Amino acid sequence: MTIVVKKGGRGRQAFSPTKIRNSIRIAAKRARFSPEKIKKLVKDVGEPVIDSYKKKKLAKTSDIGKSILIRLNRNAKPVASAWKKYKKKK
């Protein structure tokens, strides 16, 4: 099982593929992607990230986020932009 270290080392929790999928969905909705495009984006961006991190023992949320953002920049720049805006607010 992968343990995820939260930002700044403030806590740990079990790796959750659902959180990755949901965050991509939210960013894609904010970028006004259609439900079909969102589904494809989650598959093309989210699933490879999930597969690579679920094999690790320990991961940082910042590293997971960077991996997602790199893939979003390659596949859907408007979604990458929406992702960045959301993260700045948080």
Show me where the domains of the chain are located: 3-85
CB 14 within 8 A of CB 74: no
Local structure of residue 31 (DSSP, 8 states): T
- Residue 28: predicted pLDDT: 96
pLDDT computed for residue 90 by the predictor: 63
Measured CA to CA, the distance from residue 7 to residue 62 in angstroms comes to 7
Distances (CA, A) of 55 to 1, 38, 52, 71: 8, 25, 6, 19
Judge if pTM exceeds 0.85. Answer: yes
Q: Which residues, in sequence order, are bridge partners of residue 3?
A: 14, 58
Distance CA 49, CA 45 (A): 7
pLDDT in tens, 18-59: 999 999 999 999 999 999 999 999 999 999 999 999 999 999
